[in-house]
Amino acid sequence: MSFDKSTHVETCVCAGLSDASVTGKSTHVEACVCAELSDASVIGKAIDALRKGRMILLFDADDREGETDMVIPALCATPAHIARMRRDGGGLICVAIHAVAADKLGLPFMSDVLRSVSLNGHKSLRTLVEKKGDITYDSRSSFSLWVNHRDVFTGITDNDRALTIRKIGENVERVLTGEKVDFGDEFRSPGHVALLRAASGLLGERCGQTELSIALALGAGICPSMVVCEMLDEKTGRSLSKEDARKYGRKHDMPFIEGKNVL
């Protein structure tokens, strides 16, 4: 697969990336969200916003987590975006990346790391590792490593996290254009930014915010590295309701879409 660097625009978005360019397959799969959608206008607005480096709101499903995430391309993340996510979102600020990029960068699922360690000297971890049935709404979590870029100070400030996130996006872009990348040259772990590894089969395998955001990136033709953050409600102690998330989107001119629109 290859990126055409000449297609970059001021919004930091890389154009021209299709599902075929990532997987090597000649046919588009469910990640190609540009066609046969139940509500093309809703998806169209979201894709247009992502191409311009703007934030959107993405709700997974009523019968899943039932959560809305704030989503923006990693390449476009600024300190102001991080501040908005922690202030108005309140959940974990994570970076979802395509499985192909994760493989090329050597980024495993955290559960696999813990499982391996538990079998090689740390027996106490065996009961701690995520097991089938632990997550009621899915078969497994998508967490990979937690990282900081080596140029940050503590790693937690808006400036530090924005830098780490943009650099993650740059490394995903580099590795998907064919460059050989040693992720450890620029990053260290543990850190303050959680990496989420999308399922290899994307929406055919899992329909979490990780896969939905990557599917949208592919449909938009941008680098498949997306920042996601859950929206929480301090009044109820729960996730922000879908209705309130819609209101927030209207107030701040952010497209609101549901997972069913992407499937």
Any catalytic annotation for residue 94? yes
Q: Which of 12, 94, 207, 223 is catalytic?
A: 94
Q: Which of 76, 230, 248, 258 is catalytic?
A: 230
Closest CA to 213 of 224, 197, 199, 201: 224
Any catalytic annotation for residue 122? no
Q: Is 90 helix (H, G, I), strand (E, B) or coil?
A: strand
Please state, in angstroms and rounded to a whole number, the distance separating the CA atoms of residues 122 and 117.
6
Q: Which of 19, 60, 69, 211 is catalytic?
A: 69
Any catalytic annotation for residue 130? no
Any catalytic annotation for residue 192? yes
Q: Which of 12, 19, 148, 160 is catalytic?
A: 148
Closest CA to 22 of 2, 50, 51: 2
Any catalytic annotation for residue 159? no
Residue reference for tokens 């709404």: 137
Rounded to a whole number, what is the distance in angstroms from the first to the last CA of the chain? 24
Q: Which of 130, 170, 192, 244 is catalytic?
A: 192
Any catalytic annotation for residue 258? no
Please, which residues bridge with residue 233 across strands? 238
Q: Which of 137, 179, 233, 252 is catalytic?
A: 137
The answer to whether 256 and 39 are in contact (CB under 8 A) is no
Distances (CA, A) of 109 to 12, 129, 200: 28, 11, 12
E-strand ranges in 78-224 read 90-97, 143-149, 187-197
Residues classed as catalytic: 69, 94, 137, 148, 192, 230
